[in-house]
Chain A
Amino acid sequence: MKKLLTLTLAAGLMSTAAWAESVKIGFVTTLTTGAAIIGTDMQNAANLAVEHLGGKAGNLDLEVIFADDGFAPETGKQATDKLVKQDDVDFVTGYIWSHVLLASRKSALDAGKFLISANAGPSQIAGKLCDENFFSTSWQNDQTPMAMGEVLNRQGVKSLYVMAPNYAAGKDMVAGVERTFKGEIVGRDLTKWGADAQLDFSAELAKAKASGADGIFVFYPGAAGGAFIKQYDQAGLKDTLPLYSVFTVDGLSLPKLQAANFQAVLGSRTTQEWDPSLDNAANKRFVADFKAKHGTYPSFYAAQSYDAIMLIASAVAKVGNTEDKDALRAALKAAEFESVRGDFKFGTNNMPVQNFYLREVVADADGTWTTKVVETVFEDHIDSYAAECKM
């Protein structure tokens, strides 16, 4: 009897091992439109992660399938549907934009797939819409501006003019800075966003200047960031209206700003959960190999995408297959992988509990413009929506 049982068990194990030979990861990002620069950075980082893993997660082959969301929620949802239904991926990750993630989450979660956001962090998905199969390797949108609000308080800024694009994440950023900033918000401008976003901020900058604020806070990811900084510089506001930004000055906009020699950005400050100069082994390897391969510093989008692939691979390697969803969920939650951020852990709502740093734009030893950490603003910060999550 015992022999029969052992034989059946062995046969069962062998068959599952022979079945699940590869793990497929769907990666939804923006590969067309003006924002394609972000998507390409994330794609490069994901491919670098696969290369560092040797193309394998444990014993399974690792395959990443990229899909384009065209910077529009409806296209992102269609891309997610295709990955989930046609390609039958095991994990869905990527997602730059909060409105695309919010539109696509049902497609992935209802099909029982694991959804890992490598960038977007809308408040809804950290709070009321939290899900046991959703994880984030980025942050919740409000956290980075909350850190900036704290920095503004420490620097004695009393009044602030706020500008952000008019979509889910823009509103989260504004809400975030207003949560911690103790001074007065003298004006708020939400500008048109999307594939044909408003890129000429002349009217808004004139209003900001006339408001007499101590500083201006902006959130303009991607191409709009470069445009804003250029116009801010051309309006000569550097001394009268100091610039505090989140997600605007990064590894993607800095090379362009350097090529056009916009010196106004040197010395400006931003807050973020990661910096190319963070001192840990995983980050050193990631930044060095990325720079060697692509010639530029990776952006935070790239760092988060790299972490997402590493997280998924670590979970799959630990469990050994893609079938056991409960074990995979537990392995993902345990997050036992070498993050480029150093120590990595998830909170109750599957959002990371992490540090936020104040970073300054400087020129490195080779003269390339990049950022370095000035100080730690928050340690082990938990987002404000964790309490709303009923998990």
Chain B
Amino acid sequence: MDLSLLIIQALNGVQLGLLLFLVASGLTLVFGILDFVNLAHGSLYMLGAFICASLTFLFGNFLWAVLVALPLTGGIGYLVERFVARPLYARNHLDHVLGTFGLILVLDTLAHLIWGPAGIAVPLPHWLDGQIALTETLVIPSFRLLIIGAGLTAAAGLFWLVNYTRLGMLIRAGASNRTMVAALGIDIQTLFALVFALGAMLAGLAGMLIAPITEASIGMGNSIIITAFVVIIVGGIGSMKGAFIAAILIGLIDTMGRSFLDDIFKLAMSPEAAETSAPAVSAMLIYIIMALVLALRPQGLFPPRTR
């Protein structure tokens, strides 16, 4: 186990963490401010990936496709808010779950009707398909560096938005005390619609970034949504800082677990036992962390201040 492998795996972990942050940030905003459990957030991730894939084939350029697909996904997020979420705000969380679970099924089948059962592989421009040598031994694929860059830019943009703009102030106020914000005369409907659309755009961006590596496929959102929920529970619901730190933490733990757990296990047990148990345990790790957080600090690691 040498240093360069450790650094590469750490970078892989950070990349996964940033993708998780993009999904989790939208989720935590919607859950924290709108108090709306949106299971269909993963479907927005999937739709972002598919729209970007189709546009890449239409324009012949991946980056243009991302720029056009982002507002389109935001628009879809607005439509979801207007027609599915808004009627359900007054109801309890179980109704939210039922409604958005139904929406997942509808969107999955819609994707199947529009794009077919096969996934779409997204071609990248030539300069994104190579590798970048950070040092002599540290070689990382260019596209993964782009993901890290895009994730950090989005995180920085969100940080600026939430802390230094009026909209961000309203978002933070809404996360602390929604009723008071409405009582102060702020147009809560528009605020909610904007937050929902922003969350959809972030999730869509994550989907667009992962699609060239894996592929845009139906149901791709269903596994990441569970991990995103784990992230926001660990980080604290409604908190951007919490979502960021928890996402990086979980991305690192998951990647390091997959990379080094079997070597660690081999110190204590036979190679065959290590090789069969390590994948199972590394898949469980993030849920064990979530269980610990819920047991010891149920409000999450960095909950927003509420009164």
User: Taking beta carbons and an 8 Å cutoff, which residues of A are in contact with B?
Assistant: 31-34, 36-37, 39-40, 166, 188-192, 195-196, 199-200, 202-204, 206-207, 210, 223, 226-227, 230-231, 233-236, 252, 256-257, 259-262
Cross-chain contact B130 with A236 (CB below 8 angstroms): yes
Residue contacts A-B, CB under 8 angstroms, 21 given: A31-B117, A36-B117, A36-B218, A37-B117, A37-B118, A196-B219, A196-B222, A196-B223, A199-B213, A200-B16, A200-B210, A203-B9, A203-B13, A203-B259, A204-B258, A210-B2, A223-B215, A231-B213, A233-B129, A235-B131, A256-B118
Chain A binder among B138-146, B184-192, B292-300 = B138-146
User: Taking beta carbons and an 8 Å cutoff, which residues of B are in contact with A?
Assistant: 2, 4-5, 8-9, 12-13, 15-16, 57, 112, 117-124, 129-131, 139, 141-144, 210, 212-215, 217-220, 222-223, 255, 258-259, 262, 275-276, 279-280, 283
Cross-chain contact B218 with A33 (CB below 8 angstroms): yes
A39 to B116 Cα, complex, angstroms: 13
Cross-chain contact A33 with B255 (CB below 8 angstroms): no
Cross-chain contact B214 with A210 (CB below 8 angstroms): no
Residues A227 and B215 in contact in the complex (CB < 8 Å), given A40-B117, A206-B8? yes
What's the least CB distance linking A30 to chain B, in Å?
9
**Contacts across chains A and B counted by CB atoms under 8 Å:** 117
Q: Which residue of B lies closest to A196 (CB)?
A: B223
Q: What 8 A-B pairs come out closest when comparing CB atoms?
A: A196-B223, A36-B117, A199-B214, A260-B121, A260-B123, A37-B118, A234-B141, A202-B12
What's the least CB distance linking B13 to chain A, in Å?
8
Chain B residues with CB below 8 A from A234, complex form:
129-131, 141-144, 213
A45 to B15 Cα, complex, angstroms: 41
Residues A188 and B219 in contact in the complex (CB < 8 Å), given A40-B117, A200-B213, A234-B131? no
A236 to B5 Cα, complex, angstroms: 16
Cross-chain contact A223 with B119 (CB below 8 angstroms): yes
A195 to B142 Cα, complex, angstroms: 29
Q: Which residue of A lies closest to B118 (CB)?
A: A37
Name the one of A192, A202, A233 contacting B144, with C-beta atoms under 8 angstroms. Answer: A202
Chain A residues with CB below 8 A from B218, complex form:
33-34, 36
Chain A residues with CB below 8 A from B13, complex form:
203
Chain B residues with CB below 8 A from A34, complex form:
119, 217-220
Chain B residues with CB below 8 A from A256, complex form:
118-121, 215
What's the least CB distance linking A193 to chain B, in Å?
9
Q: Which residue of A lies closest to B57 (CB)?
A: A259
Chain B residues with CB below 8 A from A203, complex form:
9, 12-13, 255, 258-259
Residues A260 and B219 in contact in the complex (CB < 8 Å), given A192-B279, A210-B5, A236-B130? no
The CB with the most chain B CB atoms within 10 A, among A166, A227, A230, is that of: A230
A56 to B225 Cα, complex, angstroms: 48
Beyond known contacts A36-B218, A230-B215: 4 more, CB 8 A cutoff: A37-B119, A192-B283, A196-B223, A223-B217
Chain B residues with CB below 8 A from A207, complex form:
5, 259
Chain A residues with CB below 8 A from B222, complex form:
195-196
What's the least CB distance linking B1 to chain A, in Å?
8
Name the one of B129, B142, B215 contacting A226, with C-beta atoms under 8 angstroms. Answer: B215
Cross-chain contact A259 with B215 (CB below 8 angstroms): no
A199 to B212 Cα, complex, angstroms: 12
Cross-chain contact B12 with A226 (CB below 8 angstroms): no
Q: Which residue of A lies closest to B120 (CB)?
A: A256
Name the one of A32, A236, A260 contacting B131, with C-beta atoms under 8 angstroms. Answer: A236
Q: Which residue of A lies closest to B217 (CB)?
A: A34
Cross-chain contact B275 with A190 (CB below 8 angstroms): yes
Chain B residues with CB below 8 A from A252, complex form:
118
Residues A236 and B141 in contact in the complex (CB < 8 Å), given A191-B279, A206-B12, A256-B215? yes
A192 to B123 Cα, complex, angstroms: 26
Cross-chain contact A202 with B223 (CB below 8 angstroms): no
A199 to B139 Cα, complex, angstroms: 21
Chain A residues with CB below 8 A from B16, complex form:
200, 202
Name the one of A202, A210, A259 contacting B255, with C-beta atoms under 8 angstroms. Answer: A202
The CB with the most chain A CB atoms within 10 A, among B5, B141, B214, is that of: B214
What's the least CB distance linking A45 to chain B, in Å?
15
Chain A residues with CB below 8 A from B57, complex form:
259
What's the least CB distance linking B23 to chain A, in Å?
14
Chain B residues with CB below 8 A from A204, complex form:
258-259
A32 to B113 Cα, complex, angstroms: 12
Residues A206 and B279 in contact in the complex (CB < 8 Å), given A36-B117, A200-B210, A261-B123? no
What's the least CB distance linking B60 to chain A, in Å?
12
Chain A residues with CB below 8 A from B121, complex form:
226, 230, 256-257, 259-260, 262
A189 to B262 Cα, complex, angstroms: 9
Chain A residues with CB below 8 A from B130, complex form:
234, 236
Q: Which residue of B lies closest to A71 (CB)?
A: B219
Chain A residues with CB below 8 A from B141, complex form:
231, 234-236
A261 to B128 Cα, complex, angstroms: 13
Q: Which residue of A lies closest to B4 (CB)?
A: A210
Chain A residues with CB below 8 A from B4, complex form:
210
What's the least CB distance linking B259 to chain A, in Å?
5
Chain B residues with CB below 8 A from A261, complex form:
123
What's the least CB distance linking B112 to chain A, in Å?
8
A235 to B131 Cα, complex, angstroms: 6
What's the least CB distance linking A101 to chain B, in Å?
21
Residues A226 and B143 in contact in the complex (CB < 8 Å), given A196-B223, A199-B214? no
Q: Which residue of A lies closest to B109 (CB)?
A: A32
Chain B residues with CB below 8 A from A206, complex form:
5, 8-9, 12, 259
A254 to B269 Cα, complex, angstroms: 41
Residues A202 and B15 in contact in the complex (CB < 8 Å), given A37-B117, A230-B121, A234-B141? yes
What's the least CB distance linking B152 to chain A, in Å?
17
Cross-chain contact B122 with A260 (CB below 8 angstroms): yes
Residues A190 and B276 in contact in the complex (CB < 8 Å), given A33-B218, A37-B118, A223-B119? yes
Cross-chain contact B5 with A230 (CB below 8 angstroms): no
What's the least CB distance linking A62 to chain B, in Å?
25
A227 to B131 Cα, complex, angstroms: 17
